[in-house]
């Protein structure tokens, strides 16, 4: 009887292990297939900003965008966050950078643009956008915010950039995801890693990093690791009493952007 009870316990243990394995690998599969829905959050389109509209062709996609303060010699190409509409930044750039033409081009799948966002797709569109801007301006700076810092970093290693601005940047999306899901093999599952820390050593242009002291979306450690990988240390501005979202409304943020870009005009 004791042997029979031992066999039953063994069978139950095996079934528990099998069910746990099924659950674990099912969760891995769910993360793999849902990962881009968890990374990209296209918001509803906003009212078109007061700027000069234009269209851009990239990989058979017709992307629309706007130029704020058109006709200036210097230009700034801006890449936004994963849940942000770049057009909402139009008034900020109009008021704070009147001497620079600022190009706002929503990602594919954002603000009515066709296509589905992926790392490779955003990188391709970003280079196309840079080439469009560079053909019209003698000086081109690049600015990225949150997710867009990975796009900006990529462009900075592929094209000549006058100045590079990174607002609430990370070292890689993979590192953030791994800490959020520590029991899963994120490195094997993740498609879009945005590994800025691998590209930072190639960046030689003057760079500005803006950090929010109370950022919980991109905790400070990820930004500091990115900074440590630059060969030429960037200018760093830490804005106190600000989180990932509220940092954009701080006067120190606007002043840092204005002063840094004005030095390169």
Mean pLDDT computed over every residue of the chain: 92
Averaged over 125-132, what is the pLDDT? 97
Please tell me which residue, 53 or 11, carries the higher pLDDT value. Answer: 53
Same domain, 210 and 121: yes
pLDDT of amino acid 264: 58
Whether the per-residue pLDDT at 2 is higher than 60: the answer is: no
For every residue of 207-238, DSSP letters joined together read EEEEEETT-SSS-HHHHHHHHHT-SSPPEEEE
CATH of the domain at 56: 3.40.50.1820
Domain range for 9 is 1-39
pLDDT of amino acid 240: 95
Question: What is the tens place of the pLDDT at every residue in 34-80?
Answer: 989 999 999 888 778 888 999 999 999 999 999 999 999 999 999 99
pLDDT of amino acid 31: 85
pLDDT of amino acid 6: 65
Please tell me which residue, 122 or 3, carries the higher pLDDT value. Answer: 122
Same domain, 101 and 27: no
Is residue 255 included in any domain, yes or no?
yes
| DSSP bridge partners of 64 | 55
Same domain, 171 and 223: yes
Kind and range of the H or E element at 73?
none
Question: What 3-state class would DSSP assign to 102?
Answer: strand
Half-sphere exposure of 71 (CA within 13 A, CB side): 3
Same domain, 111 and 222: yes
Angle at which helix 119-134 crosses helix 147-158, to 10 degrees, equals: 60
Same domain, 26 and 67: no
**Is-contact 213 204, C-beta < 8 A?**
no
pLDDT of amino acid 13: 75
Question: What 3-state class would DSSP assign to 189?
Answer: helix
Q: Distance between CA atoms of 235 and 265, rounded to whole angstroms?
A: 17
Nearest to 193, CA basis, from 175, 205, 211, 179: 175
Strands 52-58, 61-68: pairing is antiparallel
Same domain, 14 and 132: no
Is residue 184 included in any domain, yes or no?
yes
pLDDT of amino acid 91: 94
pLDDT of amino acid 17: 80
Is residue 44 included in any domain, yes or no?
no
Question: What is the tens place of the pLDDT at every residue in 161-213?
Answer: 999 999 999 999 999 999 988 898 888 889 999 999 999 999 989 999 999 99
Number of structural domains in the chain: 2
**Is-contact 179 208, C-beta < 8 A?**
no
Same domain, 87 and 2: no
Same domain, 125 and 206: yes
pLDDT of amino acid 18: 82
Structure-block tokens of residue 1: 């009887």
């Amino acid at each position: 009887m004791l042997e029979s009870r031992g066999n039953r316990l063994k069978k139950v243990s095996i079934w528990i292990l099998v069910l746990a394995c099924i659950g674990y690998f099912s969760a891995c599969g769910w993360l793999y297939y849902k990962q881009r829905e968890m990374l990209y959050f296209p918001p509803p389109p906003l009212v078109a900003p007061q700027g000069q509209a234009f269209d851009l062709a990239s990989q058979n996609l017709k992307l629309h965008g706007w130029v704020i303060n058109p006709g200036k010699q210097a230009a700034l190409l801006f890449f936004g966050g994963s849940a942000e509409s770049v057009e909402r930044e139009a008034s900020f750039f109009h008021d704070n950078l009147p001497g620079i033409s600022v190009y706002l081009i929503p990602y594919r799948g954002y603000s009515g643009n066709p296509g589905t966002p992926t790392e490779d797709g955003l990188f391709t569109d970003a280079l196309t956008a840079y080439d469009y801007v560079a053909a019209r301006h003698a000086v081109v700076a690049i600015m990225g915010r949150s997710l867009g810092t990975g796009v900006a970093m990529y462009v900075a290693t592929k094209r000549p950039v006058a100045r590079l601005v990174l607002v609430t940047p990370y070292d890689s999306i993979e590192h953030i995801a791994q800490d959020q899901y520590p029991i899963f093999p994120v490195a094997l599952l993740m498609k879009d890693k945005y590994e800025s820390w691998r590209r930072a050593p190639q960046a030689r242009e003057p760079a500005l990093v803006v950090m929010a002291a109370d950022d919980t979306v991109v905790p400070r450690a990820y930004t500091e690791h990115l900074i440590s990988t630059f060969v030429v240390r960037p200018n760093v501005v830490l804005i106190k009493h600000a989180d990932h979202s509220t940092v954009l409304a701080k006067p120190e943020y606007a002043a840092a952007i204005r002063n840094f870009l004005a030095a390169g005009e």
